[in-house]
Amino acid sequence: MRATIPRVGSADTTAAIQEYLRRLDGASDEPAAAIVRELLERSANRLHTLCVPMLYRSYPRLTRPPLNLQAEEMLSAVVERLMKALRHVRPEGVRQYFALATQHMRWELNELARQLDAKATEVGLDEEALAAPESETQAPAIDSRRILAAIDALPTEEREVFDLVRIQGLSHPEAAEVLGVATKTVQRRLHRALLTLSEA
């Protein structure tokens, strides 16, 4: 018998995702592919919310010609990645699920940036063809990749907090609830993450 899944609110979304993950982890005799589809549909809004700041803050040049990448397109690619990943990976909870999602978002953006750079080299496009304003250079794109690499290199606990607060936009109490720790712990981990990133 299928469990009843809440349909509204951030807390309800978290509870719903946890229930889908429980079912996916063998607590249900339903086909895994069907559960994964429902899980991705239920979490689509939150995944989209994660895509927007990561794309527009870290990789703004990908939103301009020649790619003109939109958050919806990025979300579609990330959902496809997650569908494949969830065939082999079983996140234990909401925390691990969104950590997996943000990891694939970074990989997708890094891959698109590498492809764009390779294409520009192959066809001899000048920097203006990449639609960078006159006041910009390619440095911001390079810095973005360095920043994302530095985030990936953070210790697990600090990276999780950084993802939840700075990328997913959760408040400190909300992040603490997801992680199962005190709010002060979230604040300490975020502070350490920011110091590490500043040094990097």
Measured CA angle at 52 (ends 139, 196), to 5 deg: 55
Measured CA to CA, the distance from residue 107 to residue 138 in angstroms comes to 20
In angstroms, the Cα distances linking 139 to 30, 43, 135, 144 are 49, 34, 11, 9
CATH number of 153-200: 1.10.10.10
Residue spans per domain, the chain: 10-137, 153-200
- pTM reported for the whole predicted model: 0.73
pLDDT in single tens digits along all 200 residues of the chain: 344 433 345 668 888 999 999 999 886 778 999 999 999 999 999 899 889 888 888 888 899 998 999 999 999 999 999 999 999 999 989 888 988 999 899 899 989 988 888 877 766 544 444 444 444 444 445 566 777 788 889 999 999 899 888 877 788 998 888 888 899 999 999 999 999 988 87
